[in-house]
């Protein structure tokens, strides 16, 4: 496996910017900051029966952060809080070196080359953590 | 004494062992010089003992080496006395020490003046003081090129000002602060002046008496010395006026169950076992640095920065933060490349064996002032060469090809 994180798959995922934008009337929202690099992610969600119905994100961050947000934008609708927490755990495990036999989302595989670059793991995880906070905010509303 | 960058590089073991490395993150950490390495090794092998406590010969050797390091630091700063040198863990600890000890005497309505160019280390401790004591913080603004705007010092530095705490040189823009008018304005209202010298001391000896300031802080690891050590220099009468910050062994006069009296500075501010080996290493580094041909070395690093600034203007898309001229400017060059995130640029550069820093550089108010989240920063030391600039520019071109 190459340890160059800038493989074509991750470049394409980031450039897709799936889910980028704002929702007209979000049920919850959250902003997340990376203290290391100053990256900022904003996530907005609407819920239906405790599950994400729609989401939108704004990312002022690096390519890895934008790729993770795009994966979320593409796949996270329909998840509830527990499923999102499990998915976040799967991403963290992947970055720590545990390769899932069948990743929940095919996009997750493109983050494997980030593994040796520990200071960049937070870039990938920030959108997942911010989405969880947005979900909390919606459920607390 | 002549100066050859390649010869100088040989005095740095890590660089000598890694000829492929283009190390351009000197504003964060300079490489350890062999004089410091040798001094630490010699101390640990032949003199290791606690200081200022033992009466056996080994402890006396450690005492002598530690106090010699204090003299070496004092000489580098042209301090009036070694007793004006307090060893701390770094610039951050030095500023926190003053924020606590000097801050003890402040009250609601008093003001501390900072600038928008400060590293978080010279901002957050004062924000914490504001929470504790109710003092107000005021900020010197920045000119468009990143230099401090000193055109109206009388507005922020009012009779309510008790301390001005400013950087000697920005860790982002490299702009050197013109301290003389700030000191004059502070003196006019009876305020003290603290200078964050973390970026300055590695570019040549500093004369604290000529600067006429009250406190000066710097870190060993940026001055080609060990990590975990730094210096707070304080004018004798300024240090003597301060209460201790940390309590413990070594900083007392007499202790009874009812209370304690304090040792005189510098020991009043060195509670517990100090960073002995690190201080000895730093002293050796400063002693060696003091004897270097600084005019030639400064001309060399300025030339590298000047070339990089010129070449960046040719590359597609870079935006540059900081003064373009080399007047009162250190060889620290911060920029953004097209719309590529600084961390992505740095990651691509790493594949070219180019080590630079990207991000907000612990200077978020400055980044906000320039409307950017972060920047790539190349910072030069005398061991850098044209080959390092070549590799950096090749890497930047690769980042443009790959990521735009």
Per residue in B138-174, pLDDT (tens digit) is 999 999 989 999 998 989 999 999 999 999 999 999 9
* Local structure of B306: helix, strand or coil: helix
> For residue A50, is it within any domain?
yes
Residue A1: pLDDT over 60: no
To the nearest whole angstrom, how far is the Cα of A134 from the nearest Cα of chain B?
23
Q: Where in chain B is the domain with CATH 3.40.640.10?
A: 37-290
Contact between residue B142 and residue B148 where contact means Cβ atoms under 8 Å apart: yes
Does B374 contact A40 at a Cβ distance shorter than 8 Å?
A: no
Q: Which residues contact B401 (CB under 8 A, 6 or more apart)?
A: none
Tell me, what's the pLDDT at B316?
64
Give CA separation, A50 vs A132, A139, B200, B390, in Å.
13, 7, 56, 56
Q: Which among B347, B300, B323 has a CA at the least distance from the CA of B170?
A: B323
Tell me, what's the pLDDT at A141?
64
- Sign of torsion, CA B27 B168 B192 B205? positive
CA angle B125, B355, A65 (to 5 degrees): 70
Q: Residues of chain A with pLDDT > 70: what percent?
A: 98
What residues of chain A lie within 8 A of the CB of B351, using their CB? 4
Mutation for testing the A interface, residue in B28, B341, B359 having most A CBs under 10 Å: B341
pLDDT digits (tens, 9 = 90+) for B72-109: 999 999 999 999 999 999 999 999 999 999 999 999 99
Mean pLDDT of B333-345: 93
Contact between residue A28 and residue A51 where contact means Cβ atoms under 8 Å apart: no
- According to DSSP, the β-strands at B332-336 and B375-379 are antiparallel
Q: Across all residues in chain B, what is the average pLDDT?
A: 96
pLDDT digits (tens, 9 = 90+) for B341-356: 999 999 999 999 999 9
Range of the domain at A33: 8-140
Of 2.40.50.220, 3.40.50.620, 3.30.230.10, 3.90.1150.10, the CATH number of B5-31+293-403 is 3.90.1150.10
Tell me, what's the pLDDT at B102?
98
Q: Does any CB of chain A come closer than 8 Å to the CB of residue B338?
A: no
Q: Which among A38, A36, A41, A33 has a CA at the least distance from the CA of A17?
A: A41
Least confident span in A96-100, B2-6, B171-175: A96-100
> For residue A3, is it within any domain?
no
Please give the CATH topology (third level) of the domain spanning B37-290.
3.40.640
Contact between residue B220 and residue B27 where contact means Cβ atoms under 8 Å apart: no
pLDDT digits (tens, 9 = 90+) for B252-305: 999 999 999 999 999 999 999 999 999 999 999 999 999 999 999 999 999 999
Q: Does any CB of chain A come closer than 8 Å to the CB of residue B342?
A: yes
Does B347 contact A11 at a Cβ distance shorter than 8 Å?
A: no
Does A5 contact B373 at a Cβ distance shorter than 8 Å?
A: no
Q: Is B161 a catalytic site residue?
A: no
**Is residue A120 reached through a cis peptide bond, with omega within 30 degrees of 0 on the bond before it?**
no
Structure tokens at B243: 């209460």
Q: Does any CB of chain A come closer than 8 Å to the CB of residue B404?
A: no
Tell me, what's the pLDDT at A101?
75
> For residue A2, is it within any domain?
no
CB atoms under 10 Å from CB of B210, counted, come to 10
Residue B44: pLDDT over 80: yes
What residues of chain B lie within 8 A of the CB of A6, using their CB? 344, 347-348, 402-403
pLDDT digits (tens, 9 = 90+) for B215-237: 999 999 999 999 999 999 999 99
Contact between residue B49 and residue B61 where contact means Cβ atoms under 8 Å apart: yes
pLDDT digits (tens, 9 = 90+) for A15-62: 999 999 999 999 999 999 987 777 899 999 999 999 999 999 999 999
For chain A, how many structural domains are there in total?
A: 1
* Local structure of A101: helix, strand or coil: coil
Tell me, what's the pLDDT at B52?
86
Structure tokens at B86: 């307090």
pLDDT digits (tens, 9 = 90+) for B304-331: 999 999 999 888 666 888 888 878 899 9
To the nearest whole angstrom, how far is the Cα of B342 from the nearest Cα of chain A?
8
Q: Where in chain B is the domain with CATH 3.90.1150.10?
A: 5-31+293-403
* CB contact burial A28-41 (16+ within 10 A = b; e otherwise): bbbebebeebbbbb
Q: Which residue is catalytic, options B33, B161, B346, B362?
A: B362
**Residue B140 burial (C-beta neighbours within 10 Å; 0-12, 13-18, 19+):** buried
CATH number at residue A13: 3.90.1010.10
With tokens 């394409």, the residue in question is A12
* Local structure of B182: helix, strand or coil: helix
* Cα radius of gyration (chain B): 22
Strand order in the sheet with B136-140: B85-88, B230-234, B215-219, B192-196, B161-167, B111-115, B136-140
pLDDT digits (tens, 9 = 90+) for B188-218: 999 999 999 999 999 999 999 999 999 999 9
- According to DSSP, the β-strands at B357-359 and B375-379 are antiparallel
pLDDT digits (tens, 9 = 90+) for A50-82: 999 999 999 999 999 999 999 999 999 999 999
Tell me, what's the pLDDT at B106?
98
Residue B380: pLDDT over 80: yes
With tokens 């062999």, the residue in question is B34
């Amino acid at each position: 496996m190459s340890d160059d994180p800038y493989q074509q798959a991750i470049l394409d995922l980031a450039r897709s910017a799936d889910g980028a934008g704002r929702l007209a009337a979000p049920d919850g929202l959250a902003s997340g900051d990376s203290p290391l690099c100053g990256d900022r992610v904003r996530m907005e969600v609407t819920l239906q029966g405790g599950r994400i119905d729609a989401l939108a994100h704004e990312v002022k961050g690096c390519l890895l952060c934008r790729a993770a947000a795009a994966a979320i934008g593409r796949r996270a609708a329909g998840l509830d809080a527990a499923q999102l927490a499990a998915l976040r755990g799967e991403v963290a495990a992947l970055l720590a070196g545990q390769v899932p036999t069948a990743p929940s989302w095919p996009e997750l595989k493109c983050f494997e080359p980030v593994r040796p670059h520990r200071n960049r793991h937070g870039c990938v995880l920030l959108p997942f953590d911010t989405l969880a906070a947005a979900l909390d905010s919606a459920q607390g509303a | 004494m002549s100066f050859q960058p390649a010869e100088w590089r040989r005095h740095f073991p890590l660089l000598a062992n890694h000829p492929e490395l283009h190390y351009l993150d000197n504003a964060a950490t300079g490489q350890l010089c062999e004089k410091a390495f040798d001094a630490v090794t010699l101390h640990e092998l032949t003199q290791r003992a606690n200081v200022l406590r033992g009466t056996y010969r080994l402890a006396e050797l450690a005492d002598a080496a530690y106090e010699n390091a204090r003299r070496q630091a004092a000489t580098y700063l042209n301090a009036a006395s070694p007793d004006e040198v307090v060893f701390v863990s770094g610039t951050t600890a030095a500023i926190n020490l003053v924020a606590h000890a000097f801050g003890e005497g402040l009250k609601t309505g008093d003001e501390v003046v900072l600038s928008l160019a400060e590293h978080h280390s010279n901002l957050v401790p004062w924000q914490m003081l504001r929470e504790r004591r109710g003092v107000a913080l005021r900020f010197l603004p920045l000119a468009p090129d990143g230099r401090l705007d000193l055109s109206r010092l009388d507005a922020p530095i009012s009779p309510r000002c008790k301390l001005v705490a400013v950087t000697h040189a920005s860790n982002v823009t490299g702009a050197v602060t013109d301290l003389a008018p700030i000191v004059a304005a502070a003196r006019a209202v009876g305020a003290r002046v603290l200078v964050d010298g973390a970026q300055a001391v590695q570019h040549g000896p500093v004369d604290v008496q000529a600067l006429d300031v009250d406190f000066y802080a710097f870190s060993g690891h940026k001055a080609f010395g060990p990590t975990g050590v730094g210096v707070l220099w304080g004018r004798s009468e300024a240090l003597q006026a301060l209460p201790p910050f940390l309590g413990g062994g070594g900083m007392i006069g007499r202790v009874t169950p009812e209370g304690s009296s304090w040792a005189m500075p510098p020991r009043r501010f060195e509670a517990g076992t100090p960073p002995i080996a690190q201080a000895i290493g730093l002293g050796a580094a400063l002693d060696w640095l003091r004897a270097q041909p600084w005019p030639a070395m400064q001309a060399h690093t300025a030339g590298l920065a000047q070339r990089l600034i010129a070449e960046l203007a040719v590359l597609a898309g870079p935006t540059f933060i900081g003064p373009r001229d080399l007047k009162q400017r250190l060889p620290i060059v911060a920029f953004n490349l097209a719309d590529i995130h600084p961390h992505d640029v740095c990651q691509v550069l790493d594949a070219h064996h180019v080590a630079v820093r990207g991000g907000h550089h612990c200077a978020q108010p400055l980044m906000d002032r320039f409307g950017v989240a972060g920047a790539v920063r190349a910072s030069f030391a005398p061991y850098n060469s044209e080959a390092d600039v070549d590799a950096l520019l090749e890497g930047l071109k690769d980042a443009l090809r790959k990521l735009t």
